Amino acid sequence: MTRRNRLGDRPMMLEIDAAEAWDIDEELDFKVVAFLMSAESGK
């Protein structure tokens, strides 16, 4: 029987930096990330 899941048969996991791992689910999340990105580019 074929297993059906959204990750596929052999998913590859990759560790990423916490600053890159923001989930954008709502407008506020987008605004927070946009602010953080603009603060980072201003360094």
Task: Grade residue 33 by pLDDT with cuts at 50, 70 and 90.
Answer: confident
> pTM higher than 0.85, yes or no?
no
Percent of the chain with pLDDT strictly greater than 90: 33
Q: How far is CA 4 from the centre of its chain?
A: 23
Separation of alpha carbons 39 and 41, rounded Å: 6
What average pLDDT is seen over the chain? 84
pLDDT, tens digit (0-9, with 9 covering 90-100), for 13-28: 899 988 788 889 999 9
Q: Where are the domains of the chain?
A: 18-43
pLDDT at 1 over 70: no
Separation of alpha carbons 20 and 38, rounded Å: 14
Number of Cβ atoms within 10 Å of the Cβ of 33? 14
Sequence-ordered list of residues with C-beta below 8 angstroms from that of 32, at least 6 positions apart, any chain = 22
Instruction: Supply the pLDDT for residue 2.
Output: 65
How large is the C-alpha radius of gyration of the chain?
Answer: 16
